[in-house]
Structure 1
Amino acid sequence: MDITVSEDIDSEFLEVVRDILEDREFKKLNCFRQHLKTTRFMHSLNVSYISWCLARRFRCDARAAARAGLLHDFFLYDFRDKQPTRELQAFYHPKVAAYNSTNHFNISEKEANAILSHMFPLGPLPTSKEAWLITCADKICATMELFQLHIALAKPGRVKISAA
Structure 2
Amino acid sequence: MDITLSEEIDPEFLEIVQCILDDAEFKKLNYYKQHLKTTRFMHSLNVSYVSWLLAKRFGCDAAAAARAGLLHDFFLYNFGEKRDTKELQAFYHPKVAAQNSADRFEISEKERLAILSHMFPLGPLPRSREAWLISCADKLCASSELFHFQIFLAKGNRVVVSPT
Q: Following TM superposition, where does structure 1 have runs of at least 4 consecutive aligned residues deviating by more than 4 angstroms?
A: none
Q: How many angstroms apart in 1 are the aligned matches of 2:42 and 2:91?
A: 22
Other structure's SS at 2:111 match: helix
How many residue pairs get aligned? The number is: 164
Letter paired with 2:120: F
Q: Pairwise mapping of residues 6-155 of structure 1 onto structure 2 (< 5 A)?
A: 6-155=6-155
Cα deviations across residues 99-151 of structure 1 (Å, max 9, x unaligned)? Answer: 00001002000000000000000000000000000000000000000000011
Post-superposition offset of 1:35 = 0.5
Post-superposition offset of 1:82 = 1.7
Can you give the 5+ residue segments of structure 2 that lack an aligned partner in the other structure? none
Question: TM-score if structure 2 supplies the norm length?
Answer: 0.98
Cα deviations across residues 58-117 of structure 1 (Å, max 9, x unaligned)? Answer: 000000000000000000000111221000000000000000000100200000000000
Provide the residue aligned with 2:162 in structure 1.
162
Other structure's SS at 2:157 match: coil
Cα deviations across residues 2-53 of structure 1 (Å, max 9, x unaligned)? Answer: 1110111111001100000010000000000000110000000000000000
Question: TM-score if structure 1 supplies the norm length?
Answer: 0.98
Letter paired with 1:124: P
Letter paired with 1:12: E
Letter paired with 1:147: F
Q: Percent identity?
A: 73
